[in-house]
Amino acid sequence: MDNNMKKLTRSTGNRMMCGVCGGIGEYLNVDPTLVRLIWALCSLASVGMGVILYIVAAIVMPEDNQIVG
């Protein structure tokens, strides 16, 4: 089996709060700051639904096990 499959995980090295947006940015190979801005705009447009989705994602997504240093 191929162990090089990409997994969606919370980032340990590129996090502001829980690492959800950093993990999504790493998974999609885009700047995590861009993901954070889009997430914030969507949260404002949906009257806070993005905050609820962020909390759910922080609970459901596993944390990245890489040691950064």
Model pLDDT, residue 45 = 92
Model pLDDT, residue 3 = 66
pTM above 0.85, yes or no: no
Q: Are 65 and 13 in contact (CB under 8 A)?
A: no
CA distance 4 to 20: 21
Task: List per-block mean pLDDT (blocks of 10 residues) for the chain, which spans 69 residues.
Answer: 75 84 90 92 88 91 70
Model pLDDT, residue 31 = 92
